[in-house]
Chains A and B, each alone.
Chain A
């Protein structure tokens, strides 16, 4: 019945669905299927032997590890940034707030060389650390810095929407009833921000696993040391090792799919229907 009620009146169902499915199939679904078919046609033994190559496993490990670490870090700092730029007004607060979108609007290569120019051993910041014998980039910490840069807008914006919707009266009521700041934060504010923090974390994480542009300019890309999975695939393509690239790419694709479905399924539980408008 609901279907009927909803479709009545508005025209263009078949044409819009047809164009959507046709274009989506052409530009995205068929290529994905091609990749998966190519990977599965290899047989499970070849698949397993390629995926368990030490270099691939090592890349997988550091990619997942640093994506997770950077996502946690960026979610915490992102919440802090979103809070201070949304709740407080101070000179240039709007300017700083607008800046947060820059990593999204900039090409990966540009962000990468910007970070490299500052954190490298000749850069303004890298020089200071170089003097005491610490190398900031071209190692695993470089991956972390690059990922933080990329994840920042995602982490900030997903919490910010919820911070804007917070009800000031709730905080005042709690304070009147004698709650301390810590209590107010953990009992009233934090539970309301959880959906945003959660989806910020998952999006950052998913984004971080596949990141290529910014990270490769600051990671150094040394196999068994600082080569992220995307770079590993790129190298395989570059060496015409199509099989190797296909298998690892399919594995990475699978991980991304799994993460996104996890997000979609768990969304309902975390949100509890409270923020239906927020996606």
Chain B
């Protein structure tokens, strides 16, 4: 009798202990924060610290140096081109995938998402195989006098391939959750396709669209692996900023590398802040308040995962 009671008390106190540990939110929070500090905060703040370690003047000197300036310009141009392509593609792809049912629709949807998971090295290499010297179209291209690989068009092409999915995959779920009733009504009332898109669809998906553009931009600016394959690292010609960071780093100019990396950190902070702002625009509270005042409810935005 007393034996069972004893076991029960032990079990009870064990349970209490377990409860205390498991329900103890501090443990979870401490683990999470320690992990983030170790893996994110300390390494990324060390970028800034090391970049500024030789003083602000050296830092600015590295950023203003001709090769850095050139690579910044090239990066902006390349990523702008690919973001525009990704946006146009995303809008058309989302339009046909959401509004129409056709054979191979699901497959199309999964193919669009492929460039996210494929190794960037492979993406770069595919284009080399196609347009490079020994590629399938290499002869034709050479005859026209254009060089694609080891030149800026190659950078633009690979960057377009890498950023391809981002706008489409944020728009598709957003448009699916909105349905097509309003578009159909507009059609009934006599609007044409362009009017429907700009007057009905675009105002409702604008935040999702912006979100996709930001993701594509973040990805496009920072593309490194694919660019490394097709760039050929011709100085002041095909070196984008991520490649420039790599070059500085491997030439033991680490201060210059960290200075450029600080620029990226700055850009990524802008990305994150704008993402947060869009999230707030889309928060449930805001959505409800919009519903109450009779506005159209905003679409739900999914993450990039």
Contacts and interface: CB of A to CB of B under 8 A. Distances in A.
Give the interface size class of chain B.
Answer: 35 or more
Given A13-B96, A16-B96, A96-B36, A35 B117 contact: no
A10 B196 contact: yes
Contacts of A234: 121, 225, 228-229
B13 interface: no
Interface in B216-244: 218-219, 221-225, 228-229, 241-243
Q: Output the residue of B15, B50, B120, B125 with the most chain A CB within 10 A.
A: B125
B257 interface: yes
Contacts, number: 310
Nearest to A13: B100
Interface string A7-46: 1111111011101110110011111101101100000000
B18 interface: yes
A220 interface: no
Contact of A113 (B89, B134, B261): B261
A35 B258 contact: no
B222 A107 contact: yes
Given A27-B164, A114-B46, A3 B121 contact: no
Interface in A204-257: 206-207, 209-213, 217, 229-230, 233-234, 237, 242, 245-246, 249, 252-253, 256-257
Contacts of A103: 40
The 8 closest A-B pairs by CB, nearest first: A210-B119, A107-B222, A31-B126, A212-B225, A105-B268, A16-B96, A114-B43, A11-B193
Interface of A: 2-3, 6-13, 15-17, 19-21, 23-24, 27-32, 34-35, 37-38, 77, 80-81, 83-85, 87-88, 90, 96, 98-111, 113-115, 117-119, 123-125, 145, 148-149, 152-154, 157-158, 160-161, 180-182, 185, 199-200, 203, 206-207, 209-213, 217, 229-230, 233-234, 237, 242, 245-246, 249, 252-253, 256-257, 259-261, 264, 277-279
